[in-house]
């Protein structure tokens, strides 16, 4: 028996559509930590057990790797030589990495000028064919669906059912870490695949009796990109949290079902509120997530303080992506000036003493 962790397909193969002889394309994704927050809860009006599922520690720095290991494994199994996706950045980084690992070509459609630098760097490094479109994610999604009808190419967006299969394993891990399901699960909602996948995972473990209850699902959106709050898809979505700059979510029905069946809710936050939560998490807990991910913290804080999430609850927040993905936004919002001194002891000492 070896103990080397070899990825979520191996670990959860009994729960995934995988054959014994399937060649698994993996980068040892999953198995991310569930970290209990200690400092932010002290600032809240009600006492809860608050945890973050730090998905930024996946191989390409986001939760997309969970779905991508499945999607690429199945693409290769079916003989596909190329993948295509539309992306706000993380899917393209993940598709590029896993396609490279499999030795097939990744085509990625990204909105020109609207993806974080780290994500672009990843797609470039992994050798994806990058097609920048003069449009947004929703335009890209439409084009991907059209082009796949005319070319032998596998779509690896979350409309590919294997994506959600892989992503549901995050719910399995949370249940294993807590020994139960949380009472509330908070997460960002963009294309709405992830909220659907978590609900699928929680439901599966409840159905086979591993847990006897499921969490209420709380989905949070950026105010100018909040179709679930408006009740219909929207055109021209905007937000500084470019990962969730989406107006026409593909998993609309599944997400509505997750919210309704769980007794959860959707809410929205402004860019300023999103950035404030990102900074708070980084400053108070030492955890750096990207802006889109921080909306789950903004949501949890609001709903714990207003009592919608009651005292004594166990709450999990998914931190979908690593803060290092988007250094530009982090640096731009930083208000602490950098101190510049000569390389001399006296000046360094003075600088330190002033701040003690």
Q: Least distance (Å) from ligand F0G to the CB of residue 151?
A: 20
Choice between 29 and 290, CB closer to ligand F0G: 290
**CA–CA separation, 188 and 195 (whole Å):** 8
Choice between 209 and 330, CB closer to ligand F0G: 330
Q: Least distance (Å) from ligand F0G to the CB of residue 77?
A: 23
Q: Least distance (Å) from ligand F0G to the CB of residue 66?
A: 11
Choice between 106 and 292, CB closer to ligand F0G: 292
**Residue 280, token pair as written in the block:** 């708070």
**Residue 271, token pair as written in the block:** 């860019």
Q: Evaluate whether 173 touches 34 at the Cβ level (below 8 Å).
A: yes
Q: Least distance (Å) from ligand F0G to the CB of residue 57?
A: 13
- Find tokens 């994704």 and name the residue: 29
Q: Which residues bind ligand F0G (CB under 6 A)?
A: 62, 64, 87-91, 158, 188-194, 243-244, 290, 292-293, 320-321
Q: Evaluate whether 246 touches 115 at the Cβ level (below 8 Å).
A: no
CA-nearest of 141, 140, 143, 92 to 120 is: 92
Choice between 62 and 80, CB closer to ligand F0G: 62
Q: What angle do CA 58, 62, 65 make, to 5 degrees?
A: 65
Q: Least distance (Å) from ligand F0G to the CB of residue 131?
A: 14
| Cβ-based neighbours of 44, under 8 Å, separated by 6 or more | 301, 304, 305
Convert 34-60 to b/e letters by CB count within 10 Å (16 or more is b). Answer: bbebeebbeebeeebebbbbbbbbbbb
Q: Least distance (Å) from ligand F0G to the CB of residue 94?
A: 8
Q: Least distance (Å) from ligand F0G to the CB of residue 102?
A: 19
Crossing angle (nearest 10°) for helices 291-305 and 271-285: 90
Choice between 85 and 175, CB closer to ligand F0G: 85
Q: Evaluate whether 129 touches 123 at the Cβ level (below 8 Å).
A: no
| C-beta neighbour count of 93 within 10 angstroms | 33
Choice between 239 and 320, CB closer to ligand F0G: 320
Choice between 58 and 80, CB closer to ligand F0G: 58
Choice between 133 and 210, CB closer to ligand F0G: 133
Q: Least distance (Å) from ligand F0G to the CB of residue 318?
A: 8
Contacts of residues 273-276 at CB distance under 8 Å and 24 or more positions apart, as own/partner, are: 273/298, 274/222, 274/239, 274/240, 274/241, 274/298, 275/240, 275/329, 275/333
């Amino acid at each position: 028996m070896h103990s080397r962790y070899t990825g979520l397909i191996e670990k959860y193969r009994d729960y995934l559509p995988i054959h014994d002889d399937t060649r698994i394309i993996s980068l040892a994704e999953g198995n991310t930590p569930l970290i209990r927050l200690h400092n932010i809860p002290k600032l809240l009006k009600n006492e809860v057990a608050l945890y973050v599922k730090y998905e930024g520690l996946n191989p390409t720095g986001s939760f997309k790797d969970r779905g991508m290991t499945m999607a690429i494994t199945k693409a290769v199994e079916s003989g596909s030589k190329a993948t295509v996706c539309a992306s706000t950045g993380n899917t393209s980084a993940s598709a590029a990495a896993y396609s490279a690992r499999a030795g097939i070509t990744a085509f990625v459609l990204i909105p020109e000028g609207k993806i974080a630098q780290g994500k672009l760097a990843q797609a470039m490094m992994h050798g994806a064919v990058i097609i920048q479109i003069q449009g947004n994610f929703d335009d890209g999604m439409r084009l991907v669906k059209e082009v796949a009808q005319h070319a032998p190419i596998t779509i690896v967006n979350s409309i590919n059912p294997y994506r959600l299969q892989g992503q549901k394993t995050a719910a399995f891990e949370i249940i294993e870490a807590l020994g139960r399901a949380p009472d509330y699960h908070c997460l960002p909602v963009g294309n709405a695949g992830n909220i659907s996948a978590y609900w699928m995972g929680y439901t599966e473990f409840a159905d086979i009796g591993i847990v006897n209850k499921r969490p209420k699902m709380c989905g949070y959106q950026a105010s100018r990109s909040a179709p679930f709050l408006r009740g219909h898809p929207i055109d021209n979505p905007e937000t500084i949290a470019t990962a969730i700059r989406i107006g026409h979510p593909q998993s609309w029905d599944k997400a509505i079902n997750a919210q309704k069946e769980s007794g959860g809710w959707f809410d929205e936050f402004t860019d300023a509120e999103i950035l404030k939560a990102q900074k708070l998490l980084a400053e108070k807990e030492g955890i750096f997530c990207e802006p889109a991910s921080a909306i789950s913290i903004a949501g949890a804080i609001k709903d714990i303080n207003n009592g919608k999430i009651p005292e004594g609850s166990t709450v999990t927040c998914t931190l979908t992506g690593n803060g290092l993905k988007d250094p530009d936004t982090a640096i731009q919002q930083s208000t602490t000036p950098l101190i510049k001194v000569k390389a001399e002891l006296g000046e360094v000492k003075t600088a330190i003493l002033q701040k003690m």
